[in-house]
Every structure is written in structure tokens, then in C-alpha cells.
Amino acid sequence: MAGGIFAILDDIAALMDDIAVTSKVATQKTAAILGDDLAVNAEKATGFLSSRELPVLWAITKGSFLNKIIIIPIALLLNYFFPIAIKWALVLGGIYLAYEGVEKIIEFLFHRAKTGHEVIEDAQDADGPEEEKAKVKSAITTDFILSIEIVIIALGSTLGKPLITQIMTVVAVGFLATVGVYGIVALIVRMDDAGFSLIRRSNDKGFLAALGNLLVKALPIVIKALAVIGTLALIMVSGGIFAHNIDYLHHFLPEWPSIAKEVVIGLVGGIAAVILMTIGKKILSLVKPA
């Protein structure tokens, strides 16, 4: 009896060790996409009133967990019964990311300068509940696409392993990705509050006060940098998806560095998506009854 128990415990220990090894490999392989995920979601989680930052971030985090709960079982089933569907799901997600990234670039380059009263109205609208819901929905949608890639990359690192190892590894990577990314985002968006707290406690004197002032002044710079990095991440991630999952693009411009090739492919794909979406909206507006 005791020997049977020890045998079971030994099997469990071996399984956990196998899961730990595959989780480490999967996390290393998803490190780049996790960095992109951080940049994209940090940019999307900023721009709210201070009192709404953490509630909004918590709403996005819950949405991210729900995304993983939906994606992981579907990815495991598709990988077993219909693996080609995973590739095309990634490509469709890449089109969405490319579209969003190019749309941001176009908005930055060609948006019309606003008058004073328009700026005030926009600021009031931006703090409204509908605008907040729209931003949360957009962030969760983008997280969904990035989560698909994270889950599939993690799953790809467990091929040939027992099913229980695949399941536990993908679940572990999905959990760590969500907690890690949004935990860091929470620290970023609360930089100014931490800075003000240090200034108050030090009576605006000494090292703590200097550190507090640095945090307060650095936050706008970090947010602007994240906006740029997040947009570039959307383009690069989408280009990487296209390059790795479309055979022609995989062998396209072989002499180019992979990063440069992925940026070009992502930009071209995003421009094409924006053009098609614009044409589609025009057609719908023409056929839509008045």
C-alpha cells in the first residue's frame, strides 16, 4: 500500500517537473510577444481619470482572464482535431492588429487640428462611461488577439508531450502572462500617485522628494513612449504573424533583417485592411436606407 502511494507521488513529482520545464521553455518563447502585449495594453489602459485607472485596469484584466478561458480549450481542441484552423485564426487576428496599428498612424499624421471648444468637449466625453466602456472593449479585443498568439506559441512548445502536460503548461503560461502584464501596467499607471505620496511624506525635501518628482514628471513621457511603442508593437506582431504563417511571406525578402521585414509586411497589411474597411463602410453607407 505504502509502495503504491509513493509510486503515485513519484509520478506526480515527475509530471510537475515536466510541466515546470515546458512552462519555462514556453515562457521564453513567448517573451517577445509578452513585451508587445505589455506595450500595447499599457498604452490602452492610460488616459483615464486617476480615480478610474485601477477599476478600468481591473475590468481589462478580468476580460483578459475570460479571453484565456475561452481560447485555451478551443486551441487544445483545434490542435487535436483541426490544426490548420489555428494558423488561419492567427492570420485573421494579425489583420485586426495591423488595421488598428495603421489606423493609429493615420490618425496621428492626418487628424484635423481641433478648436478650443472641441478640445473641451472631447475631454468631457473622454471621461464619460460610454467612452470608458469603448476603451475597455477595445483593450479586451486586442488582448484577445495577442492571447491567441501567446496560447498557440505556448502550445507549440509542448508538442509531443502528454495531453495533461500540454494543458497545464498552457494554463500556467496564460495565467502568468495576464498577472505579469497587467501587474506591470498597474505599476505604470500609478507612478504619479506614488510620486505624490513620496513628496508628501518627505515634506518635499531630500532624496524621496526628488524620486517622487522624478516619478511624476516621468509618467507623461512613459505614456507617450508607450503610445509609440504600442503602435509599433501592433505593426510588428501582425507582420510577424503574417511572415510565420503565410508561406510566400515567410520566404519574402530573405536578405532583410526579420524585424524590418515584419514591420514592412505589417504596414502593408494594415494599409490594405484600412483601405478595404473604408471601402466597406462607404458601400454600407450607400446601401443603408435613409
> What's the pLDDT tens digit per position in 213-271?
888 888 778 877 777 877 887 788 888 888 888 888 878 888 888 888 989 999 999 99
Q: Check residue 134 and give its pLDDT.
A: 83
Question: Cell for 235?
Answer: 505593426
The percent of residues above 70 in pLDDT, for the chain, comes to 74
Q: What is the DSSP letter of 290?
A: -
The C-alpha atoms of residue 141 and residue 132 are separated, in whole angstroms, by 14
Q: Check residue 268 and give its pLDDT.
A: 93
The C-alpha atoms of residue 188 and residue 35 are separated, in whole angstroms, by 14
- What is the residue whose three cell numbers read 490602452? 44
Please state the length of the chain. 290
The mean pLDDT of the chain is: 77
Burial of 210: CB neighbours in 10 Å, binned 0-12, 13-18, 19+? middle
The C-alpha atoms of residue 244 and residue 240 are separated, in whole angstroms, by 6
Cβ atoms within 10 Å, residue 283: 10
Of 189, 186, 211, 185, nearest to 198 by C-alpha is: 211
Q: In Å, how far are 54, 172, 200, 220, 253 from 196, measured between CA atoms?
A: 17, 36, 6, 14, 51
Rounded to an integer, the average pLDDT of 12-38 is 61
pLDDT at 6 over 80: no
Rg (CA), the chain: 23
Distance of CA 139 to the CA centre of its chain: 8
The C-alpha atoms of residue 203 and residue 277 are separated, in whole angstroms, by 55
Structural contact between residues 52 and 128, judged by C-beta atoms closer than 8 angstroms: no
Q: State the pLDDT confidence band at 287, using cuts at 50, 70 and 90.
A: confident
Q: Where are the domains of the chain?
A: 2-287
Cβ atoms within 10 Å, residue 86: 19
pLDDT digits (tens, 9 = 90+) for 175-205: 888 888 888 888 887 787 888 888 888 887 7
pLDDT digits (tens, 9 = 90+) for 126-160: 456 777 788 888 888 888 887 887 888 777 777 67
20-24, 30-34, 167-171: segment of lowest average pLDDT: 30-34
